[in-house]
A = this chain, B = another copy of it.
Amino acid sequence: MPVYHAELLVYLRPDLLDPQGRAVKHALNTLGFHEVEDVRMGKAIRIRLQAENDSQARDRLKEMAEKLLTNPVIEDYRILSLEQEP
């Protein structure tokens, strides 16, 4: 079966406070990066999986995101990329 490489990005919903992002912004500003106005921290998830084809892989990734990888009460996600291993 073909092997796919996928990358998912998960962020806290924009209306929620992101203390990690805030801390990183503060640190950047004190380090002299005064031009930084906002930072949001999220998760990047790289997954290697087997699938029949592109669309099956995508469906399964969505399922994973909904069943485990994200908590929709607080998070949004997007599938950044999905590529078949050459």
Which A positions have Cβ atoms within 8 angstroms of B? 1, 3, 7, 9-11, 21, 24, 27-28, 31, 33, 35-51, 60, 63-64, 67-69, 80
Q: Are A50 and B35 in contact (CB under 8 A)?
A: yes
Q: Which one of B35, B60, B67, B68 contacts A49 once the chains associate, using CB atoms below 8 Å? A: B35
Indicate how many identical chains form the complex: 2
A45 touches B41 (CB 8 A): yes
Shortest beta-carbon distance, A55 to chain B, in Å?
14
A45 is contacted by which of B24, B31, B51 (Cβ under 8 Å)? B24
Q: Are A42 and B39 in contact (CB under 8 A)?
A: no
The 5 closest A-B pairs by CB, nearest first: A42-B44, A38-B48, A44-B44, A35-B50, A40-B46
